[in-house]
Amino acid sequence: MTSKQSPSKTLHILLWVAQGLLSATLLWASVTKLLKPAAELAAMWPWTAEHRGLVFFTAVLDLAGALGLILPGILRIWPQLTRYAAYGILLLMIVASVFHISRGEANLIGINIVFAAIAAFIAWRR
């Protein structure tokens, strides 16, 4: 029989910091996509001018990911959902990278790679 060891206190704190930072960033992105006027949004992210439906869809995904990283752990309701939220964010970042590369915007995927790495860390340890 194997016993599952709990992560060290330092790792636990690092995970919460990663979850908090990624969640806050996704929440900001979601609110920005939902509330900013289209012209201002297009000035920040040029792809949004051509894909209004995609903007709304990704805003909802960002919001779901942000909540999924934090709420299960805080509320202690199905904490394994945090892992699934992290997998979802990882997938979202991969798809976003492919989208930007297909548009010739490969220089924009750095942040997607960073977020994917943070999400992978969370999924791996939660």
pLDDT in tens, 72-89: 999 999 989 999 999 999
Where the chain has pLDDT below 70, the residues are 1-7
How far is Cα 38 from Cα 44, in angstroms, rounded to an integer? 10
Query: Could you tell me if 86 and 123 are in contact, meaning their C-beta atoms sit under 8 angstroms apart?
Result: yes
Q: Can you give the length of the chain in residues? A: 126
pLDDT attached to residue 126: 80
Q: Give me the amino acid identity at 107.
A: N
Token pair 């930007």 in the structure block, residue? 100
Classify residue 77 by its DSSP letter: S
Residues near 28 by beta carbon (within 8 Å), at least 6 away in sequence: none
Residue range 27-45, pLDDT digits in tens: 999 999 999 998 999 898 8
